[in-house]
């Protein structure tokens, strides 16, 4: 068995570049599949399962909090635009005099 593997490796080494590239691609693909398979098995058996419990009070609070944040952001933006408009109007009137 070991002798067959050595002969096959020697045959690949002595082959042309096309054969070498094909073997590199095939072996790289098989190695990636093997590693991803081991990783998937590890995740399935050894990672703790997370249980998500739905709590309506927390969910409602987060929803209201998010809306309040959005309102505050746009409210502040609205005030800044008004202040900018007032400043521009004042500057224009001063320049016209």
> Would the pTM count as exceeding 0.85?
no
- pLDDT given for residue 54 in this prediction: 55
Segment of 22-26, 55-59, 74-78 carrying the highest mean pLDDT: 22-26
Q: How far is CA 86 from the centre of its chain?
A: 44
* Domain segments of the chain as ranges: 1-50, 52-97
The Cα–Cα gap between 75 and 69 comes to 10
Q: What is the pLDDT of residues 62-93, one digit of tens each?
A: 556 666 777 777 777 777 777 776 776 665 55
The Cα–Cα gap between 25 and 63 comes to 50
Phi, psi (rounded to 5 degrees) for 66: -65, -45
């Amino acid at each position: 068995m070991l002798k067959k593997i050595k002969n096959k490796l020697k045959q690949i080494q002595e082959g042309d570049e096309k054969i070498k590239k094909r073997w590199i691609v095939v072996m790289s693909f098989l190695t990636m599949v093997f590693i991803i398979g081991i990783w998937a098995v590890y995740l399935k058996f050894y990672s703790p399962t997370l249980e998500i419990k739905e709590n309506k009070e927390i969910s409602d609070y987060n929803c209201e909090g998010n809306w309040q944040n959005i309102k505050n952001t746009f409210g502040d933006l609205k005030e800044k635009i008004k202040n900018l408009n007032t400043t521009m109007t004042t500057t224009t009137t001063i320049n016209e005099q």
